[in-house]
Structure 1
Amino acid sequence: FARAVYNNIPTLKNADITGRAGEVQVNDDGTKTMKTGGAKTVYSWRDGNIVSETEGAKTTADNLKNPLSLTIFDFISKRIR
């Protein structure tokens, strides 16, 4: 399927299919979560840049915090501990 898409879109004719595998989930808050092996990464966007946070996860049902949803109090409490 991917090869057919790449072949039929002129802009992507020179693109390579990398064979990268992983489960991707779009979260309610607009972040995307990708699970590869035992690691899970949450991707968020700030000013056009990608912000990501990776943690170990046993299943894709495990929840990770969106790094952009943290408040100043979250950062302070992490530093105090």
Structure 2
Amino acid sequence: MPTREELAETVRTVISDVLGTEPDEVQERTSLAEDYGIDSLELMEIGARLERTLQLRIELTDLTLARDVGHAIDLLTTRLGGAG
């Protein structure tokens, strides 16, 4: 299982790929809705890429309920069994 730090790097990379930004622009406190105006299709793409990368079923509500990137990472860490 990945550590939280490894998971955070994966999440930031996937988000930046979908949004066309650099991974270091996506921080723990980044709100995808407020900072990037992300739409539901982009969110679904991020979810699908994370599912493939992590080999984990991710519910869309896990991503929509996340306040920011750090919260999403925490939710995924929990889903992966508390890694890190």
Provide the TM-score with structure 2 as the length reference.
Answer: 0.23
Larger Rg: 1
Larger relative CO (CA 8 A, sep 6+): 1 or 2? 2
Query: Higher strand proportion, which one?
Result: 1
